[in-house]
Amino acid sequence: AQKVTQAQTEISVVEKEDVTLDCVYETRDTTYYLFWYKQPPSGELVFLIRRNSFDEQNEISGRYSWNFQKSTSSFNFTITASQVVDSAVYFCALSEAGITGGGNKLTFGTGTQLKVEL
Amino acid sequence: DTGVSQDPRHKITKRGQNVTFRCDPISEHNRLYWYRQTLGQGPEFLTYFQNEAQLEKSRLLSDRFSAERPKGSFSTLEIQRTEQGDSAMYLCASRSGQARNTIYFGEGSWLTVV
């Protein structure tokens, strides 16, 4: 069975601070995908990144960066120079990679509430 | 707007009533998913369709829940004889059938059962 753990329930930072959101996952699959989604108060889940299990290169997109470490089953997300607009709940998720069977459904963690204050 | 659309956005109903939610996926996305999210939790998978075929249902989907996608486009999720425990946000998502494509979510339908 797949499992995603986000141990940080809530994080509060002051604007311009860097913040890292942790994600640890469990799966028996050798091929899988990892995701991060952002959920603002409106409720919509906004896709941020997808990573496949064969690609351990870190990725940077503007103020966002992701650190995937297969050896520790972690896929952490860092926001540099945080802004108030970053305040939201962030979810890490996992899916199997096959395009048939299982439908690539996502298994989500419980989310981390990020509050960025002035 | 070409995103996933859900209707209604909010629904308050009395216990025992039936409710139906509609989802319009992104055009030409052949896979459609329903998830449920309760306060403080991550979304949990309920069911998914490939075109009009319902290919998987979670154990969370009790007999009171039924989902359809009759023409392989929009989908409906009906909850019969609602219970207070059904209060949650119901999220719809879609993706294309191509490998490596991402699942895109709608804004969700909030259900409150009083």
| pLDDT tens-place string over residues A25-69 | 999 888 888 999 999 988 889 999 988 888 878 888 899 999 999
Nearest to A31 by CA among A51, A14, A47: A51
Model confidence at B10, in pLDDT bands (50, 70, 90)? very high
* Percent of chain B predicted with pLDDT > 70: 96
Integer Cα distance of A105 and A107 in angstroms: 7
Give the pLDDT of residue A101.
44
Instruction: Encode pLDDT of B41-85 as tens digits.
Output: 999 999 999 999 999 899 888 899 999 999 889 999 999 999 999
Check if A48 contacts B (Cβ < 8 Å). Answer: no
pLDDT at residue A102 tops 60: no
Question: CA nearest A109 in B: which residue?
Answer: B42
pLDDT, chain A, mean:
90
Pinpoint the alpha helices (H) of chain A: none
Model confidence at B99, in pLDDT bands (50, 70, 90)? low
Top pLDDT among B103 and B24 is at B24
Specify the residue for token string 């994080």.
A11
Identify from B21, B105, B107, B111 which residue to disrupt to test chain A contact, counting A C-beta atoms within 10 A and taking the largest count: B105
Check if A40 contacts B (Cβ < 8 Å). Answer: no
Integer Cα distance of B35 and B14 in angstroms: 22
Integer Cα distance of A40 and A14 in angstroms: 18
CA A45 to chain B, closest CA, distance in angstroms equals 6
Check if B29 contacts A (Cβ < 8 Å). Answer: no
**What does chain B come to in residues?**
114
- For residue B35, the chain A residues in CB contact (below 8 A) are 106
A vs B, Cβ pairs < 8 A, gives 61
Integer Cα distance of A27 and A94 in angstroms: 9
Integer Cα distance of A115 and A38 in angstroms: 13
Contact B42 A35 (CB under 8 A): no
Name residues whose C-beta falls within 8 Å of residue B59's C-beta, 6 or more positions apart in sequence. Answer: none
Integer Cα distance of B92 and B70 in angstroms: 16
Give the pLDDT of residue A98.
59
- Alpha carbons within 13 angstroms on the beta-carbon side of residue A67 total 13
- For residue A49, the chain B residues in CB contact (below 8 A) are none
By Cβ distance, the residue of B31, B42, B107 closest to A103 is B31
**Collapsed DSSP state (helix, strand, coil) of residue A7:** coil
DSSP A29-51: -SSEEEEEEEE-TT-PPEEEEEE
Contact B40 A110 (CB under 8 A): yes
Specify the residue for token string 């309920």.
B46
Give the pLDDT of residue A100.
47
- For residue B93, the chain A residues in CB contact (below 8 A) are 45
Check if A50 contacts B (Cβ < 8 Å). Answer: yes
Give the pLDDT of residue A17.
97
Contact B100 A52 (CB under 8 A): yes
